[in-house]
Amino acid sequence: MEEITTRDETSNICTHATRVSHGNMQVAGPPTGLSDTGIDRIAFAQANITRDNTKFVNGTVIGERNVFQLDQGLGIGSKFPFFNRHQLSLTRFIPLKQVEEGAGKPPPPVLVLHGHYGGCVGDLAGYDAFTLGGPYSVRGYNMGELGACRNILELAAELRIPVKNTQVYAFAEHGNDLGSSKDVKGNPTEFFRRAGQGSSYGAGVKLGLVRVEYAVDHNAGTGAVFFRFGERF
């Protein structure tokens, strides 16, 4: 059971809002929640199945990982929400060269292939929609910059090349709302004039826990440098 309250910048509860150019909140945008009060209470069950046989070879991950997650609304709470939200992620870490394992031995170059599909049906607020764009969706875009959707498809490929004490990599990614943005309550993707799909490519270097990346937003044709923490996959 969870309770979600949507608030504006002054901490007042808001039911509809959008940020305008001068920075204030204007009550004119898509609904912020499922109910009309700005406070949602939702009961749901969640299940997760993970198959992970990845391992480290001289400090580099190889193998495969599959993750399936299911959220099922129970019809208990604000407006008795009954919904199903499901996601499947498939990731492959493919070594491109056989290497000898052991301390001080070099890691292999690795090709990473990743696919993610998500879908949902039923009574879902916009904040439970899938966000398209961001460091763990489509790099080169801000979180949710491409839209909010009820169905999502993301594809990515990354080539990792070991260098002394670290690795460099190149990547290409694509995300698509599969035409489902219009089904999100209030259609925030259209309201905020988001593209609903996008691609990016770039390169980076891993420095400890930090990833320094240069990514090109293919929609606008512009690039930027990003500093990220942790792993993308």
Beta bridge partners of 82: none
pLDDT value of residue 72: 96
Question: Which one, of 206, 203, 199, lies nearest residue 214 by Cα?
Answer: 203
Domain boundaries, the chain: 44-229
- pTM across the whole model: 0.90
Rounded Cα distance, 93 and 111, in Å: 6
pLDDT at 26 over 80: no
The pLDDT-based confidence of 102 (bands split at 50, 70, 90) is confident
In which band, very low, low, confident or very high, does the pLDDT at 14 lie, cut at 50, 70 and 90?
confident
- For residues 220-230, give the mean pLDDT: 93
Question: Any idea what the Cα angle at residue 86 is, between residues 80 and 91, rounded to 5°?
Answer: 160
Spatial CA neighbour of 152 closest among 123, 135, 127, 130: 130
Would the CA dihedral through 188, 194, 199, 202 be positive or negative? negative
CB of 215 within 8 A of CB of 170?
no
Across 20-29, 108-117, 143-152, 191-200, least confident range: 20-29
Give 63-100 pLDDT, tens digit per residue.
Answer: 999 999 999 999 898 888 899 999 999 999 999 999 98
Q: What is the pLDDT of residues 105-133, one digit of tens each?
A: 889 999 999 999 999 999 888 889 999 99
Distance CA 199, CA 126 (A): 23
Average pLDDT, the chain: 92
Contact 54, 63 (CB under 8 A): yes
Q: What is the CATH number of domain 44-229?
A: 2.40.160.50
pLDDT at 191 over 80: yes
Reported as half-sphere exposure (CB side, CA atoms, 13 A), residue 144 has a value of 14
Cβ-in-10-Å burial (0-12, 13-18, 19+) of 74 comes to middle
Task: For 113-127, give one letter per residue: b (16+ CB within 10 A) or e.
Answer: ebebbbbbeebbbbe
Q: What is the pLDDT of residues 162-180, one digit of tens each?
A: 998 899 999 999 999 999 9
Per-residue tokens: 1: 């059971």
- pLDDT value at 19 more than 80: no
